[in-house]
Amino acid sequence: MKPVIVLRHAEHVPIGSLEHVFADAGVPWRYVDLFAEATDGLPLDGAAGLVVLGGPMNVDDVGPFPFLLPELDWIRRAVEVGLPTLGICLGAQLLAKALGKRVYRNPVKEIGWYDVEILPAARDDRLFAGRGPVETVFQWHGDTFDLPDGAVRLARGRSCPNQAFRCGPSAYGVQFHAEMTPRLMEQWLEEPAFSAEVASLDYIDPAAIRAQLPERLAAMDSFSRCLLGRFAAWCEAG
């Protein structure tokens, strides 16, 4: 069957638990490492779906990261042709920008475990149906965005309102990291640039994030498996 294309912006921001979800669903996938390879275009006609991962850059950092400009065109095209599309963190911000909306600094950086409210609009949604009213998620971001025209907001956070949205029948953006695993969380906390960011924020305690891992990851596991599993099944069915 056709593979899911996974756009990766940095080597230390991989697919995480999605690897196991895709394997369980029998869905092949492949990275397009935008940071390492020149790509003239994406073979969207030969793809079962598109995942746009997170990354340490801002959507407007096109000087040091020139791949961001063509990437916006690829995301826009995926939406136009109705390809199942999931944007995670930076990926959600890129989806919003590709559809003409502003991405900007959130009042606070969210790093660690947070609760988000699943909204009534998600009740009959393909990916979110039956979830809520509150779900635990892992966050690592400093930016937020305006919702694209016609988008449906599916989840809301206290310090960052736009946590999940759907555009049309096939494109989703989630601000949180549903793909988080214990190993990936530890890698990010130890990665020099990321750890320096945490150290600069007096309200973020990495020891507390680690201590909360067993309880909070267990709380997130059912939600993330449902969300990502439904996305994988959708790609497999196509």
20 counts as catalytic:
no
179 counts as catalytic:
yes
In this prediction, residue 39 carries a pLDDT of 77
Q: Do 59 and 75 form a contact (C-beta atoms < 8 A)?
A: no
Those residues with Cβ within 8 angstroms of residue 117's Cβ, 6 or more apart along the chain or in another chain: 132, 133, 134, 155, 156, 157
As a 3-state breakdown, the chain gives helix, strand, coil percent values, each rounded to 5, of 35, 25, 40
4-8 and 49-52: which strand pairing? parallel
Which entry of 89, 160, 167, 235 is annotated as an active-site residue? 89
pLDDT tens-place values along the chain, 238 residues long: 899 999 999 999 999 999 999 999 999 999 999 999 777 788 899 999 999 999 999 999 999 999 999 999 999 999 999 999 999 999 999 999 999 999 999 999 999 999 999 999 999 999 999 999 999 999 999 999 999 999 999 999 999 999 999 999 999 999 999 999 999 999 999 998 888 899 899 999 999 999 999 999 999 999 999 999 999 999 999 7
In this prediction, residue 136 carries a pLDDT of 96
Is 238 a member of any domain? no
Is 148 a member of any domain? yes
Q: Taking the CA of residue 162 as centre, how many other CA atoms within 13 Å lie in the half-sphere pointing to its CB?
A: 28
In this prediction, residue 38 carries a pLDDT of 73
Alpha-carbon dihedral angle through residues 219, 222, 227, 230, given to the nearest 10 degrees = 180
Which entry of 71, 135, 141, 177 is annotated as an active-site residue? 177
Give the three-class secondary structure for 91. helix
Supply the range of the domain harboring residue 116: 4-233
Q: Do 175 and 92 form a contact (C-beta atoms < 8 A)?
A: yes
215 counts as catalytic:
no
Could you tell me the CATH number of the domain that includes residue 76?
3.40.50.880
Which entry of 71, 110, 135, 179 is annotated as an active-site residue? 179
In this prediction, residue 190 carries a pLDDT of 92
Where are the strands (E) in 146-192, listed by range?
A: 152-157, 164-167, 171-174
Domain count, the chain: 1
In this prediction, residue 41 carries a pLDDT of 82
Is 183 a member of any domain? yes
